């Protein structure tokens, strides 16, 4: 027995060190490390692991949401975390390069990256879809009724037989699609046509049931997919029909909705406790939306309380007073518009807003710091209002850094970037600039996911900026500019420094 224990001293110490002290509250999130990761992860059918660093701001923001989600998922999905500053070997083994990184494990094996919401509710909903079968086999009418009577939309495959022939092939294609899309949508299937006898549908088809809470007189609650079933065709069908004329946008699905030009009416929505009141304004949006089908604009409603900071910071809308909906449009290109007129119950103000939008008569809303009165430094300060004038100057190449005042990497880069600007201060063909990416709207062509992010905007290709991904040192930045600049660089002083 002693010999067997000696084989695992590190593991035993790690497990003992994780045992809770007397009287300490038991946490629902497992803490894993280099010694015990494989051993403990393999004990759970499904596990969501957060790889983090204690100093990371995004990690700190995620932590309480992760803890809440762990409590709600207890018994179905285990949540765990790994401190990458203490257990770098495990984090390196799973390719962790940024924080926080979330991954889904099945029986200890890295199964898939987690790219879902970062709220407790979002994590709960997302991970619930990773438990159980990809598609539930419904065997009775009560099963079907219970499945479609859900807060979320339901996709139900109808197949006349599952053993062989065309039905068997179609069912297998459906199950493959469900396996790929289960994290976003709910799937079930029936093989007894008696279950759907009341719907007057073909023996081979897919039915999409929109959530009962969103049913309205303006559209059907069920849509039938009758085409040749492939993964791509089914995905396209769901994408085009699941939200209907007016989606309920939440923190969890907003990214999927915002791949299109989107109008949103924000007001007090609570479908759990007040579905009738929640649909009062949505029905008025639906009435107007039904007149603009096929115009390339999607409609949605959202709970104002969930998007308070976004409405204030990104659209400049005060949200403290009034119960009337606030209306915005956000395009795929990142252009933003706000309806300044009060929302009228007959929908006429919304209709006027839309007419102005489609005629191109609305002024875009741009969140911007004031344009600096003095801007004589070697590094030119750019704000959203001056971006076109400076960065899109057709006669100059521009190197622009997007930064945050709280970013330590930006502070380390500042002296290098300033030195670069001084070296090129005499060059009339290039501008070295910077913009606060937190306080200003960043144009859609510039994808900024962290700070600092550096782009080069060349003459003649202002709509195709080039992201700098090299080492943030003076010599490397100079080599990049020499390679990409439209003119030979002109250096200040008599000697070029490399």
For 412-433, what is each residue's pLDDT tens digit?
Answer: 999 999 999 999 999 999 999 9
pTM of the complete model? 0.65
Where is average pLDDT lowest: 90-94, 162-166, 418-422?
A: 162-166
Mean of the pLDDT values across residues 172-199?
Answer: 89
**Structure confidence at residue 129 as a pLDDT band (50, 70, 90):** confident
Q: Record the tokens describing residue 319, joined without a space.
A: 């949200």
pLDDT at position 168: 65
| pLDDT above 90 (res 126) | no
| pLDDT above 60 (res 153) | yes
Q: Record the tokens describing residue 430, joined without a space.
A: 């290039």
For 275-321, what is each residue's pLDDT tens digit?
Answer: 999 999 999 999 999 999 999 999 999 999 999 988 988 898 876 66
CA dist 268 and 334 (Å) reads 25
Q: Record the tokens describing residue 328, joined without a space.
A: 């915005």
Mean of the pLDDT values across residues 132-160?
Answer: 92
| pLDDT above 90 (res 101) | yes
For 201-213, what is each residue's pLDDT tens digit?
Answer: 888 999 999 999 9
**Structure confidence at residue 97 as a pLDDT band (50, 70, 90):** confident
* Mean of pLDDT over the chain: 89
- The region, left, alpha or beta by phi > 0 then psi within -120 to 50, assigned to residue 307 is alpha
pLDDT at position 375: 92
For 30-59, what is each residue's pLDDT tens digit?
Answer: 999 999 999 999 999 889 999 999 999 999
pLDDT at position 161: 62
Ordered structural domains, the chain, with CATH: 26-128 (3.40.30.10), 136-241 (3.40.30.10), 246-358 (3.40.30.10), 380-484 (3.40.30.10)
Mean of the pLDDT values across residues 222-228?
Answer: 92
For 370-384, what is each residue's pLDDT tens digit?
Answer: 999 999 999 999 999
**Enzyme catalytic residues:** 56, 59, 407, 410
């Amino acid at each position: 027995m002693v010999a067997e224990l000696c084989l695992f001293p590190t593991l035993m110490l790690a497990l003992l060190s994780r045992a809770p002290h007397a009287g300490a509250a038991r946490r629902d999130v497992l803490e894993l490390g280099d010694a015990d990761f494989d051993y403990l992860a393999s004990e759970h059918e499904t596990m969501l692991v957060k790889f983090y660093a204690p100093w990371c701001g995004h990690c700190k923001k995620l932590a309480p949401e992760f803890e809440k989600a762990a409590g709600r998922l207890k018994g179905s999905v285990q949540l765990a975390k790994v401190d990458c500053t203490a257990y770098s070997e495990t984090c390196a083994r799973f390719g962790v390069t940024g924080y926080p990184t979330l991954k889904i494990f099945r029986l200890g094996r890295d199964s898939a990256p987690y790219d879902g919401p970062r709220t407790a509710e979002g994590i709960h909903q997302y991970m619930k879809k990773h438990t159980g079968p990809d598609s539930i086999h419904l065997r009775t009418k009560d099963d079907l009724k219970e499945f479609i009577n859900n807060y979320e939309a339901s996709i139900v495959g109808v197949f006349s037989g599952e053993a062989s022939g065309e039905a068997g092939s179609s069912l297998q294609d459906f199950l493959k699609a469900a396996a790929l899309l289960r994290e976003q949508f709910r799937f079930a299937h029936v093989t007894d046509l008696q279950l759907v006898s009341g719907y007057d549908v073909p023996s081979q088809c897919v039915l999409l049931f929109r959530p009962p809470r969103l049913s309205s007189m303006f559209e059907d609650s069920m849509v039938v997919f009758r085409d040749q079933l492939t993964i791509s065709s089914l995905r396209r069908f769901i994408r085009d029909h699941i939200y209907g004329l007016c989606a309920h946008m939440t923190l969890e699905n907003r990214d999927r909705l915002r791949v299109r030009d989107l109008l949103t009416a924000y007001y007090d929505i609570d479908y759990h406790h007040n579905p009738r009141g929640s649909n009062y304004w949505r029905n008025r949006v639906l009435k107007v939306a039904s007149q603009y089908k096929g115009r390339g604009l999607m409609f949605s409603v959202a709970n104002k309380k969930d998007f308070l900071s976004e409405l204030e910071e990104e659209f400049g809308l005060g949200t403290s007073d009034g119960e009337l909906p606030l209306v915005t449009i956000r395009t795929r290109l990142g252009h933003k518009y706000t309806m300044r007129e009060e929302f009228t119950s007959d929908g006429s103000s919304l209709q006027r807003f839309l007419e102005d939008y489609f005629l191109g008569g609305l002024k875009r809303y741009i969140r911007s710091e004031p344009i600096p009165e003095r801007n004589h430094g070697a590094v030119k300060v750019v704000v959203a209002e001056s971006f076109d004038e400076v960065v899109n100057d057709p006669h100059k190449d521009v190197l622009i850094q997007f930064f945050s005042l709280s970013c330590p990497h930006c502070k380390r880069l500042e002296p290098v970037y300033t030195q670069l600007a001084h070296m090129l201060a005499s060059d009339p063909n290039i501008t070295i600039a910077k913009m606060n990416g937190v306080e200003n709207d960043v144009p859609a062509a510039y994808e900024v996911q962290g700070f600092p992010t550096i782009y080069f905007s060349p003459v003649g290709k202002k709509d195709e900026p080039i992201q700098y991904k090299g080492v943030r040192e003076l010599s490397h930045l100079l080599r990049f500019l020499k390679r990409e600049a439209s003119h030979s660089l002109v250096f200040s002083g008599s000697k070029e420094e490399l």
